[in-house]
Amino acid sequence: MSGQELLKEYKVWDRTTRWFHWINVLSVLGLIAVGTVILNAKPLGITNDGKIELKTLHVLIGYVFCINLAWRLVWGFIGNRYARFRAILPGGKGYMKDVTEYLNGFMKGEAPAWLGHNPLGRLMIAALLAVLIVQAGTGLIIAGTDIYYPPFGNKIKAWIAQDQTQLDLIQPYSKENVDEEKNKEMRAFRSPIVETHETLYFLLIALIIVHVAAAVITDIRERNGIISAMFTGRKFFTKRPCDWQG
């Protein structure tokens, strides 16, 4: 029999997981693109009005990103067995043994078959999720301290306002109704948050590059449809995956 005839199809990624993945891809790419322009606003000669428009767009895309990420975190508890946290994050009984066996097999071109994320892939998923969660949290805070958008915008306005009855007068890049001393306190509070957000921006780009490269290399080496599975929900193997339960 040929190798093609020996292939068996297995269902792995449910529809919710696939939708999350591609919404996340598009929203993160959008955030990176707009964020890159914002970071280079001065050399690009962008005016304050232009910055406000860019930051507003960044925040709106960020809302999509945050809602999608929040739903994925919920799905980590109620999704199918391959979408749950115990299957996508490192750890658990025998995990280090699985890592060693996978590494040894991969180097020999005989990596053990995994229907869900392989042991090394789980490390990448953990790193990506951690960065995405922190980016979501810091981004929402920055949205409130920068252009006064929800969920923290009104609280920030109340913090820095001279007149608490006229919070609507406080607008991005305007000093109207802004108490300078309180504004300095707010800016000091947000400074490490902005620094964290910008630092993780670069780390996220690096992780994405490694993630894509690893997926392509693994797909070429193992030929089980790891990339196409995020469209179809199915992978193909000539041998039974280690984590398959029929």
CATH number, domain containing residue 150: 1.20.950.20
Instruction: Establish how many alpha carbons lie within 13 A of residue 169's alpha carbon, considering only the half-sphere containing its beta carbon.
Output: 12
Q: What is the pLDDT of residue 21?
A: 98
- Evaluate whether residue 245 is within a structural domain: no
| φ and ψ at residue 241, rounded to 5 degrees | -65, 145
- Evaluate whether residue 246 is within a structural domain: no
pLDDT per position as a tens digit, 30-69: 999 999 999 999 999 999 999 999 999 999 999 999 999 9
Q: What is the pLDDT of residue 1?
A: 40
pLDDT per position as a tens digit, 61-111: 999 999 999 999 999 999 999 999 999 999 989 999 999 999 999 988 888
Q: What is the pLDDT of residue 5?
A: 53
- Evaluate whether residue 35 is within a structural domain: yes
Residue 7: which pLDDT band, with cuts at 50, 70 and 90? confident
A 10 A CB-CB count for 45 gives 7
Instruction: Give the range of the structural domain holding residue 19, as residue numbers without chain letter.
Output: 3-237
Q: Total domain count for the chain?
A: 1
pLDDT above 70 (res 3): no
Mean pLDDT of the residues in the chain: 95
- Evaluate whether residue 244 is within a structural domain: no
- Evaluate whether residue 99 is within a structural domain: yes
Distances (CA, A) of 73 to 29, 78, 130, 135, 176: 20, 9, 11, 15, 40
Residue for token pair 């066996």:
101
pLDDT per position as a tens digit, 136-165: 999 999 999 999 999 999 999 999 999 999
- Evaluate whether residue 243 is within a structural domain: no
- Evaluate whether residue 41 is within a structural domain: yes
Q: 234: helix, coil or strand?
A: strand
pLDDT per position as a tens digit, 214-235: 999 999 998 899 999 999 999 9
- Evaluate whether residue 242 is within a structural domain: no
Residue 184: which pLDDT band, with cuts at 50, 70 and 90? very high
Residue 82 tokens, joined: 């391959």
